[in-house]
Amino acid sequence: MERVRSAALLVLATALAGCSTYRASPYVVSADTLQVLRAYRGTTTVAVAPFAATMPGQREMKCREKGQFTTPDGETFEEFIRQAFVSELTKAELYAPVAPITLTGRLLTIDFSQGVADASWTFQLELRSSNGHWVTVLERYPIPGGADPASCRETARALMPAVQDLVAKVVRQPGFSRLLSAAR
């Protein structure tokens, strides 16, 4: 009886071992994005309202048959991206919880592919200002490793730098300065 129980536990442990959860790294402010945003310091402050998503509330994504990956603290992907904007704007001294301008975002697409030669994160984000202006960007961030057995781990690790690139692409858009303007 004890042998059967031990064998059952071993089979269960082996099955569960294949279903790992990989957490992305916490967001870190980008020096390049900070430099771009500091150019607006002293001209305005900006609030950041909750972001929406085409697939709201998504906190994890399945990674092949090996498990799943999640945001660092289990927040939704749209909240992770929103907090990235808050972090960047705070460090640039542009963020205020209540401000004349409020930015809202809509995550239109979040996806990843783990092809042999083209593993990548893909985001499409629309960022709107309370002044009526908006920008929409599409970002494709390559993931190192492709079909490597550790690719689920690499996909999770790549989320943070992929979001850094997404935020950088938004703030470098020609229309970004209009988002911060009080004029309509």
Q: Which residues, 6 or more positions from 21, have their beta carbon under 8 angstroms from its beta carbon? A: 60, 67, 68, 69, 70
The conformation of residue 95, written as its DSSP 8-state character, comes to: B
Return the residue matching tokens 């999640």. Answer: 70
CA distance 112 to 42: 38
Centroid of chain to Cα 5:
43
> In the chain, which residue ranges form alpha helices assigned H by DSSP?
2-17, 31-38, 77-91, 151-171, 176-179
Domains and CATH numbers, the chain: 20-179 (3.40.50.10610)
Q: Which residues, 6 or more positions from 178, have their beta carbon under 8 angstroms from its beta carbon? A: 129, 131, 133
| pLDDT for 69 beyond 50 | yes
Instruction: Identify the pLDDT of residue 9.
Output: 43
Based on the number of CB atoms within 10 Å of its own CB, is 182 exposed (0-12), middle (13-18) or buried (19 or more)? exposed
Kindly state the tokens that stand for 141.
């961030």
Mean pLDDT of 92-101: 96
Give the pLDDT band (50/70/90) at residue 52. very high
The conformation of residue 37, written as its DSSP 8-state character, comes to: H
Instruction: Identify the pLDDT of residue 152.
Output: 80
**pTM exceeds 0.85, yes or no:** yes
Mean pLDDT of 30-43: 96
Q: Is the C-alpha dihedral spanning 115, 67, 61, 72 positive or negative?
A: negative
Q: How many residues are recorded in the chain?
A: 184
* Mean predicted lDDT score pLDDT of the chain: 87
